[in-house]
Amino acid sequence: MKIRFLVTGGTFDKEYNEITGALFFKDTHVREMLRLGRCNLDLELRTLMMIDSTEMSEVDREMILKSCTEASRERIVISHGTDTMSETARYLGERVKDKTIVLTGAMVPYTFGSSDGLFNLGSALAFVQTLPHGVYVVMNGRCFDWHDVKKNRSTGHFERT
């Protein structure tokens, strides 16, 4: 089974500037995460953008949609910032019916060492292989349908709407 992996940035890929305290993007950490996880899957990794999801526009979502619909692979994982992950899932869910698409992310940057990113990445890769066509959000060990998910900003967890 071949899986396309689309990188859009988000907390997965943030770096920390020790001098200024700012978070920034340099390159994706997904390859390293897959290596650490000893991933044996047939993955095609493509970086679309490296942005915070709060800065994601409709043009960016259209680029994600186009990458999904034009992909020869039926199974797609998207790393995405958690702040607008539900909105992108909804955007894709309303438009893509013939593929299995899983969005995932992290609440803590991978480079911090205490990130939930590895767990969420592994969960997303497992779910994308087993779910029927549709769009899903996978976070915190749970899988949500695109039309029934939101981020609870007070708990930092995803839940059903």
Using a pLDDT cut of 70, give the percent of the chain over it.
99
Query: pLDDT tens digits, residue range 40-97?
Result: 999 999 999 999 899 999 999 999 999 999 999 999 999 999 999 999 999 999 999 9
Bridge partners of residue 51, in order along the sequence: 9
Who wins on pLDDT, 127 or 113? Answer: 127
Q: Lowest mean pLDDT: which of 32-36, 48-52, 74-78, 103-107? A: 32-36
| Burial grade of 17 (CB within 10 A; 0-12, 13-18, 19 or more) | exposed
pLDDT higher than 70, residue 24 = no
CA distance 80 to 103: 6
Mean pLDDT of 23-30: 79
Mean pLDDT of 132-140: 97
Q: Which domains does the chain have, with CATH numbers?
A: 2-159 (3.40.50.1170)
pLDDT higher than 80, residue 153 = yes
Question: For the whole model, what pTM was predicted?
Answer: 0.92
| Rg of the chain on CA atoms, in Å | 14
Q: How far from 90 is each of 8, 24, 87, 115, CA to CA, in Å?
A: 16, 27, 5, 26
